[in-house]
Structure 1
């Protein structure tokens, strides 16, 4: 379907120099939207570190912010910040696309609604998972209460968006369970598959920079936080150390994060300094140019909080077999291209890693299957799906008067009664009841999420 040129604003709560899956997929979406003849701008919190006026040809507008101590990388922005509205008006933005619920997003949603600009929301992060909520509270026993309050806070955003998307079937189910009127549409994260088909440095070139790297290196790339469960991979490495045929086995944990020192301490306590390595954070372009991803024997993650993780998709696009926990959300990315194992079980991970590190036939078959699967994540196709949604929203919202939109009152954040009367969908009225079913939240379901 052809579209007239649109002006889209993408909002990020975390931005460069930090790089995560949301930023990577958002940049890819912007690149492909521009290739299709549309204009994109980025609204990001000003960290004082990223000073470039553009990124990949996209104008970057930095909004004054303060650091968030409980979650490194996140920033506080005043919800009534006037600069956001001025930017939307001056740039002639027609669609606002938000990628997560926080205070810059709140300011952007308020400004957009007050100007009659429709808002599209993508549910990227499983914010209800305990490992994320423990950044906000010290005691696990408080997690259920904080989760309920968090969903109520999230409801403010849900009620003010014209459409919702999620990259995985699991995320669609979670959002539908909490907010039945949201009707999320499943649209995958996209990548530039051509980037991963280019010639990688040889093993000899790679070893000149990383002398410890071998042809039996297992790679993880991402945030070194507690939610990534890297202790499981480290303990799996301890199990594999010294096994016949695995003398060259190495585990590389690429990235940085608040739990880095804790993971390093675990490696020292298990005497794994020669086996487990921390190359540090690498910008995305440097990671691809380094050859670490292309030359890895296996890509592994033990995280159970993922919603179609970009790092796993990128490994698939490189033809690298994957080992992941067998849980909804990430299960959708594993078929013949890798192995899914019991979550949180170092021995199960060790057995799967050993099978792919020592079984050449199994490894070759998984690599071929990965390259075949990569076509599903072509960024241009994903951008066309998103454009169809933008155009659908614009047709539906055209002619509607702007609605005055205020930030939620203090009692909302503190857990007071949430009044969302008739706000979740035009055809519904009455009080909306929030609920959370922790026992069923991770169950697999093959039903379509495209309502």
Structure 2
């Protein structure tokens, strides 16, 4: 008899735990909330455990404990400046609250999506209650970009901070050339080592986790809660419209992209290439200056719109012809790829390690400014390549379907020890 995929029992009760603020929907938060909706639609009872924020209060009002997914938000007294990271310490009061809630809600598996105090407390309580733990690693590629002279003290501060909020030590394994990056990655590794099964949204990150000593790693790409409904492009009318979405930070290489876009626009006829930068972050002013340098004529062909809602981002992607992804050696499996493919739009990317979906439906280009610029010029002059890539992205979007994601999660939960049942014949 052929093997059958385990199916979550209709009343499987899952606690999804995240330390990050849900007021700011970065990639990790978006993937986290998408997964909550996918699991709920698949029949599990989901409780989202996250810091109490404006967004969580609105969500809790819309999704009380009787709804699915339900919210369990935890009071926060401080937020780490500059990082939007709520500071929650793994203390007896927090563990007591989680223990009471997990017991009252009949939680059967604890699935954590971060590495800080709330996650540590949830894992401690899961171990006390004999519950299986699954850990999704959203990045094992932390980059502090610290001057070498400050590395020793920065690494010490990182380890001390992690120990303070988590009440658990950071792995001392050398994981990166930089001492600070190694300490940050050690925080992720030491959390992964406490889980029954670790989930990586990408194969290349899974390889790195296994090399670091994590024994049980499953690859489950991020997914969209809704299956794609968009149709691929049939032609490219007017200027080629390209959208860049993400945090305006050095590791995303947004400035390099803006310089490449300006170089390409100088080689093309006026108005042939239109760029939109969506996001916010420490490089916002620098990006705006690079996009609109001082001069006698305004340059509206690179627009910096700032942070937008998820629905607004998807609408901009739908109106565009392409999406740009310019990080190199930093990202795991970016949610923007899911958003682009769901809208049947291809992604221009520079990191060959990123494979999920991109190897079938993306457009790999050189990572340097000159190489990116040359690729943009070529795409504008050969719009048929954009149309072909849109068709490939539409086909490749299947890997990000909610049904596929739920099926893989059922297998992981079963492997971790959660109660599951086989589907009906």
Would you call these one fold, judging by a TM-score over 0.5? yes
Deviations 1:403-424 (A, max 9, x none): xxxxxxxxxxxxxxxxxxxxxx
Structure 1 distance, partners of 2:132, 2:221, is 21
Q: How far apart are 1:140 and its partner, in Å?
A: 7.4
Q: How far apart are 1:229 and its partner, in Å?
A: 0.8
Contact residue 323 and residue 349 of structure 1 kept, 8 A: no
Paired residue total: 376
* Equivalent residue number for residue 6 of structure 1: 12
Q: How far apart are 1:259 and its partner, in Å?
A: 2.2
State the Cα RMSD in Å: 2.8
Deviations 1:144-171 (A, max 9, x none): 2123333443343123211111111111
* SS of residue in 1 equivalent to 2:348: strand
Structure 2 distance, partners of 1:387, 1:381, is 10
* SS of residue in 1 equivalent to 2:417: helix
Matches within 5 A, 1:142-161: 142=151, 144-161=178-195
* Equivalent residue number for residue 376 of structure 1: 399
* Equivalent residue number for residue 25 of structure 1: 31
Q: How far apart are 1:270 and its partner, in Å?
A: 6.9
| TM-score (structure 2 length as normaliser) | 0.81
Structure 1 distance, partners of 2:288, 2:77, is 29
Question: Cα 1:342–1:270, aligned 2, differ >3 Å: closer, same or farther?
Answer: farther
Question: Pick from 294, 313, 327: which aligns with 2:352?
Answer: 327
* Equivalent residue number for residue 167 of structure 1: 201
* Equivalent residue number for residue 427 of structure 1: none
Question: Cα 1:87–1:338, aligned 2, differ >3 Å: closer, same or farther?
Answer: same
Question: Cα 1:281–1:196, aligned 2, differ >3 Å: closer, same or farther?
Answer: farther
* Equivalent residue number for residue 223 of structure 1: 247
Contact residue 240 and residue 246 of structure 1 kept, 8 A: no
Q: How far apart are 1:268 and its partner, in Å?
A: 3.9
Which ranges in structure 1 are unaligned for 5 or more consecutive residues? 205-213, 397-451
Contact residue 108 and residue 418 of structure 2 kept, 8 A: no
Correspondence 1:73 to 2:84:
yes
Structure 2 distance, partners of 1:122, 1:336, is 24
| TM-score (structure 1 length as normaliser) | 0.76
Matches within 5 A, 1:435-450: none
Q: How far apart are 1:96 and its partner, in Å?
A: 0.7
Question: Cα 1:337–1:152, aligned 2, differ >3 Å: closer, same or farther?
Answer: closer
* SS of residue in 1 equivalent to 2:7: coil
* SS of residue in 2 equivalent to 1:353: helix
Structure 2 distance, partners of 1:155, 1:237, is 38
Structure 1 distance, partners of 2:79, 2:251, is 18
Question: Pick from 371, 374, 384: which aligns with 1:348?
Answer: 371
Matches within 5 A, 1:30-179: 30-48=36-54, 50-52=56-58, 53=60, 54=62, 57-69=68-80, 71-80=82-91, 81=94, 82-126=96-140, 128-130=141-143, 133-134=144-145, 137=146, 142=151, 144-179=178-213
Structure 2 distance, partners of 1:190, 1:360, is 28
Structure 1 distance, partners of 2:294, 2:358, is 30
Q: How far apart are 1:26 and its partner, in Å?
A: 2.3
Contact residue 132 and residue 418 of structure 2 kept, 8 A: no
* SS of residue in 2 equivalent to 1:279: strand
Structure 1 distance, partners of 2:270, 2:322, is 13
Deviations 1:313-365 (A, max 9, x none): 2212222122111331x24433453321232x111111122222221221121
Correspondence 1:190 to 2:223:
yes
* Equivalent residue number for residue 388 of structure 2: 365
Contact residue 215 and residue 296 of structure 1 kept, 8 A: no
Deviations 1:92-124 (A, max 9, x none): 111111112112111211122122111101111
Q: How far apart are 1:277 and its partner, in Å?
A: 0.9
Q: How far apart are 1:17 and its partner, in Å?
A: 2.1
Question: Cα 1:327–1:2, aligned 2, differ >3 Å: closer, same or farther?
Answer: closer
Question: Cα 1:341–1:89, aligned 2, differ >3 Å: closer, same or farther?
Answer: same
Which ranges in structure 2 are unaligned for 5 or more consecutive residues? 1-5, 152-176, 420-425
